Chain A
Amino acid sequence: MVLLETKNLGKSFGALTAVQDVSLAIEAGSLHSIIGPNGAGKTTLFNLLTGTFAPTSGRILLDQRDITGTPAHRIAHLGLARSFQRTNVFPAFSLLENVWVAAFATGRSWRGLLFRNADRYPEAKERALRALADVGLEGKSRHLAREISHGEQRQLELAIALAAQPRVLLLDEPAAGLSPEESRRMVALVRSLKGRYTIVLIEHKMDIIMSVSDRISVMHFGRLIAEGPPAEIQRNPEVRRAYLGGVAA
């Protein structure tokens, strides 16, 4: 079953076309990766999916429902959660507060919003703690986000997205700026989430992509140039050309 779908999606900023005619179909429960050289339009595609920008053309469907143009703050409530390429957390908050805010947003009820003590939402708290445990940060829940290491901040980034219990998880380069050792841990983490969530993953590091993906879409200059299972993508001459600048093709 296709859970998230785009149809001829396009976005231009003035004369610059960042995303053009992208039609994607993400199967429920799969891990679908999007790769491509710098500036290929991957992050812009995410920004379209999560309502940061409205597309200039095309449509986005979630569960056959048209969600094109839904503003960013509604998207989380529809079941799409994203992590950011550049760490984007709440620096002065404790780790628990970071994830709690996300858990509460998509919680069952906002009753008592103005008066009930924030500690007295057991459901949100439990979800927040579970999200921290999922990324292995449960031991640091009282630490402040600005005081933990970059690697841990990347994990927290992911935990904030998980706390929303999304149907689709959009991960924008979760291993950005990580050391090889931290990268390996992040890969293990993403792999552990596989099957529990439908995941769309943007990544640069080919070893990560090839080992975890069910399907791969390749973007180049804003367009999709190939799609298929990892083995097939690895052999594809057009992909090699895009990545290696036509030298080794």
Chain B
Amino acid sequence: MRALALILVSICVLPLIVRPVIATEIWIFAIFGLGLNLLLGYTGLLSFGQSTFFGSAAYVAGWLLKHYGINVFFALGIGVGMGALSALVVGYLCVQRSGLYFIMLTFALNQLFYFVAYQWTSVTGGEDGMQGVPRPEFLGLDFGDPRVYYVFVSILFLACLWLMQRIVESPLGQILQAIRENELRAEAVGYHAPRFKLLAFVIGGAFSGAAGVLYAMLFGIVPLEAIGFVFSGNVVFATLIGGSGSLYGPLIGSFLFIWLSESMSVVWARWPLLLGVAFVIVVLFFRGGVVEAWTRLVKWYYSRQKTSASPSAR
């Protein structure tokens, strides 16, 4: 409940601190992170190709928005479907292998999609990106207004968060974690691990797809980077820093990542160095990211209070 209140407050306050575009991007990136976290945090699968689903959804929905003037909700539906579909295809191939081979497969297939987008300039615009993706008015709502769009994205984000919470607290969430903990035993008690991993992929892909479409509509363009491996890396990065395996980790990661990259990139060209340092600290000391750092701090604080209180109790 407290977490939800905090999120609602930050949704209200965020546009006052940063530009509405950046605020919107933070929630979009958080949706992207939620999808990855189901794979990375809950299933223990390091997918290094999430932008495959993000990018393909953005391109397909962007194309339809541009040339067929579909409405925002339909575009979103298409994006979710495209994200899930591409994740089904990619996931099917990837779950056949595990460990390093799995990671390399997600990466290689990501590159494959990237080069298709790169070469197919008549549709994707190649290196220039797919430009002129509109944000058409619908049902009297002017999505072109950044504030309206911010509210729209925030509501969608809340819906995604609620959905993800239901999923991780469902039997599926429990089964995915069981596979992460001990795949051999999970098979022995009766779960076909590849099937469940694929399901996690498809769900994660659907979230990525939603994020991809929202991103394309936010900036009015699908840049080629949206399907590139750097983008895949960014979401892994943000999720790890925020805290993989906890529901709220990706939100914190998304906030830190987008906010830092926006505010620091204008001041200091070498700002990714900061991220590198943060990453090293997380990997070495806080495997659970900011979320773990926070819970440890709280625990430490309470234990200190207890020890300072106990002598007086005597």
Residues of A210-248 at the interface with B, using a CB-CB cut-off of 8 Å, are none
B50 to chain A, nearest CB (A): 20
Among A84, A101, A163, point to the contact of B186 (Cβ < 8 A).
A101
Among A71, A76, A115, point to the contact of B189 (Cβ < 8 A).
A76
Complex Cα spacing A100 to B171, Å: 10
Contact with B along A78-102 (1 / 0, CB 8 A): 0001101000111111000100111
Query: Is A102 a contact of B173 with CB atoms below 8 Å?
Result: no
**Is A206 at the interface (CB under 8 A from chain B)?**
no
Among B170, B177, B186, point to the contact of A117 (Cβ < 8 A).
B170
**Is B187 at the interface (CB under 8 A from chain A)?**
yes
CB-CB under 8 A from A82, the residues of chain B are 188
Query: Is A106 a contact of B181 with CB atoms below 8 Å?
Result: no
Query: Is A76 a contact of B190 with CB atoms below 8 Å?
Result: yes
Query: Is A105 a contact of B191 with CB atoms below 8 Å?
Result: yes
Q: Which B residue sits closest to A99, measured CB to CB? A: B189
Complex Cα spacing A90 to B185, Å: 8
Query: Is A72 a contact of B170 with CB atoms below 8 Å?
Result: no
Best-buried of A74, A100, A117 by chain B (most CB within 10 Å): A117
The answer to whether residues A116 and B193 also contact, given A50-B188, A91-B182, A93-B181 and a CB cut-off of 8 A, is no
Contact with B along A105-130 (1 / 0, CB 8 A): 11000101111111001000000000
Q: Is the interface of B mostly helix, strand, loop or mixed?
A: helix
Contact with A along B173-185 (1 / 0, CB 8 A): 1110110011011
A141 to chain B, nearest CB (A): 15
The answer to whether residues A110 and B192 also contact, given A72-B187, A88-B184, A90-B182 and a CB cut-off of 8 A, is no
**Is B167 at the interface (CB under 8 A from chain A)?**
yes
**Is A77 at the interface (CB under 8 A from chain B)?**
yes
Query: Is B170 a contact of A101 with CB atoms below 8 Å?
Result: no
Q: Which B residue sits closest to A88, measured CB to CB? A: B185
**Is A7 at the interface (CB under 8 A from chain B)?**
no
Complex Cα spacing A164 to B173, Å: 19
CB-CB under 8 A from A196, the residues of chain B are none
CB-CB under 8 A from A116, the residues of chain B are 170-171
Query: Is A105 a contact of B189 with CB atoms below 8 Å?
Result: yes
Complex Cα spacing A96 to B187, Å: 18
Best-buried of B181, B186, B188 by chain A (most CB within 10 Å): B188
Contact with B along A38-58 (1 / 0, CB 8 A): 000000000000100000000
Among A75, A97, A113, A163, point to the contact of B172 (Cβ < 8 A).
A113
The answer to whether residues A104 and B185 also contact, given A73-B190, A73-B193, A90-B178 and a CB cut-off of 8 A, is no
CB-CB under 8 A from B169, the residues of chain A are 117-118
Q: Which B residue sits closest to A71, measured CB to CB? A: B192
Complex Cα spacing A73 to B184, Å: 9
Query: Is B185 a contact of A118 with CB atoms below 8 Å?
Result: no
Residues of B98-141 at the interface with A, using a CB-CB cut-off of 8 Å, are none
Query: Is B174 a contact of A97 with CB atoms below 8 Å?
Result: yes
Among A88, A93, A105, A117, point to the contact of B190 (Cβ < 8 A).
A105
Query: Is B178 a contact of A110 with CB atoms below 8 Å?
Result: no
Q: Which B residue sits closest to A101, measured CB to CB? A: B178
**Is B97 at the interface (CB under 8 A from chain A)?**
no
CB-CB under 8 A from A84, the residues of chain B are 185, 188
Complex Cα spacing A90 to B189, Å: 12
**Is A22 at the interface (CB under 8 A from chain B)?**
no
CB-CB under 8 A from B174, the residues of chain A are 97, 100-101, 104, 118
**Is B166 at the interface (CB under 8 A from chain A)?**
yes
Residues of A133-162 at the interface with B, using a CB-CB cut-off of 8 Å, are 160
CB-CB under 8 A from A71, the residues of chain B are 192
B227 to chain A, nearest CB (A): 28
Complex Cα spacing A117 to B170, Å: 5
Best-buried of A92, A110, A121 by chain B (most CB within 10 Å): A92
Query: Is B190 a contact of A160 with CB atoms below 8 Å?
Result: no
Complex Cα spacing A232 to B209, Å: 68
Q: Which A residue sits closest to B203, measured CB to CB? A: A114
Among B171, B187, B190, point to the contact of A106 (Cβ < 8 A).
B190
Task: Given A84-B188, A115-B166, output 15 extra A-B contacts at Cβ < 8 Å.
Answer: A73-B190, A76-B189, A81-B189, A88-B182, A91-B181, A91-B182, A93-B181, A101-B186, A104-B171, A105-B191, A112-B170, A117-B166, A117-B170, A118-B169, A118-B174
Question: Can you list 9 A-B contacts (CB < 8 A)?
Answer: A75-B190, A90-B181, A92-B181, A97-B174, A100-B174, A101-B189, A102-B189, A105-B190, A121-B171
